[in-house]
Amino acid sequence: MGEVLNNWENGRWIGQTLEVENGVCAVPSKAGIKDLEYNDEVKEATDHLYDEVSDFIPKFEWPAYAPLVHAINTLKKEKNAVILAHNYMTPDIFSLIGDFKGDSLGLAIEATKTKADIIVQAGVHFMAETSKILCPDKTVLIPSMRAGCSLASSITGEDVKLIKQRYPGVPIVTYVNTSADVKAESDICCTSSNAVQVVESLGVDKVIMLPDEFLAKNVANQTDVEVIAWHGRCEVHARFSAQDVRDMRAANPGVVVLAHPECPPEVVEESDFTGSTKAMSDYVGDHKPNNVILLTECSMSDNVAMANPDVDFVRPCNLCPHMKRITLENIHECLRDEVHEVKVPKSMQKKALRAVQRMIDLPPPAEKGHFDPLAAHKPIKVI
């Protein structure tokens, strides 16, 4: 990583190129709220919700949000629909219209328990596919078909078939951040919460872990199992560097640094705690640090901050451009017109379900899925 400041300049975060209008929530466009008014009915139905998001939405902008929030919540009842809101959604979506909130797998598991006919995935495409894999009889919609993922697009099912030819007999452990065709070619899936447990559950000396190179390296540092990695990266977490952490500590003495395991191993080493989005959120709730930094997607800090008003957050802002394609406007359109349905071919769904279900059937991890920052770094093969 060197001594170069990649993402900070004169104490200002410069790592992010995507700007979101008006801070963390982009005010809905006039086109998006056409025909929707902030009238007495909307006021009565929504004004009590404003307090939850008052740190993120200026009061004078509330009349632009409230009609959409009301229209979406009304449509959900009319159509027996639920919205699965990922931790990386902006607070307007996460807090005001999300029925289930959490990480991608937690959301998909919640989806299996709901009696709703329609699932709207407020997240990215692979998450909607995972919901469809687990709930093949429900209609799964995604507000923007352009909401992709740099990890999921780094590998295809055809790539996995070639890997299996090259490494016969070596189990393929696939992160849930992959498309359905990749899951269908895999032996078992994992999340960032249970990746070490999944690798060790197989009882083998060697596994191939797809597609996140940094997650694979971080897992390899925690286990005796040999891990072979693919060269995919999360474009959000890969941006953080060890030097960033040192700079943040220097600028914020005493701050507690929490990192996601999609960050490079050098970042994990510099952090106080590394775990999944749920593990990070639980850490803040359980430990109530005075001052904390979450090295992950920007909106996650906003959403965890809402639940922990007594904790100060330092907020380096790396936005995921894919997650930020989901807005109140396109959620409204998608549900109103029932467009952008996500489908998975039946044979692929069955094969992918086997890999996902094998993971779900494991007992919960003993530890809350966190990574020891002091573990020795091991060189691993990246294919």
Residues forming the site for ligand SF4 (CB under 6 A): 124, 149-151, 177, 234-236, 297, 320, 322-323
Least separation, in Å, of the C-beta of 212 and ligand SF4? 8
Least distance to ligand SF4, CB of residue 297, Å: 5
Closer Cβ to ligand SF4, 131 or 177, answer by number: 177
Q: Residue 251 burial (CB < 10 Å; 0-12/13-18/19+)?
A: exposed
CA–CA dist 273, 147 (Å, integer): 29
Residue 267 C-beta: closest distance to ligand SF4, Å:
14
The separation between CA 296 and the C-alpha centre of its own chain, rounded to angstroms, equals: 9
When the beta carbons of 88 and 273 are compared against ligand SF4, the nearer one is: 88
Q: How far is the CB of 159 from ligand SF4 (least distance, A)?
A: 17
Q: Which residues contact 266 (CB under 8 A, 6 or more apart)?
A: 1, 241, 242
Residues 6+ apart with CB under 8 A from 125: 142, 145, 147, 148, 149, 152, 179, 342
Residue at 164: amino acid letter = K
Residue 1 C-beta: closest distance to ligand SF4, Å? 19
Crossing angle of helices 104-113/125-134, nearest 10°?
30
- CB 91, min distance to ligand SF4, A: 17
236 vs 242 by CB, closer to ligand SF4: 236
Q: Which is nearer to ligand SF4, 71 or 85 (CB)?
A: 85
Residue matched to tokens 């989806």: 111
Q: Which is nearer to ligand SF4, 149 or 284 (CB)?
A: 149
* Residue nearer to ligand SF4 on the CB measure, 249 or 322: 322
Return the C-alpha torsion angle 298, 101, 31, 117, nearest 10: 150
Query: What token pair was written down for 355?
Result: 């890999």
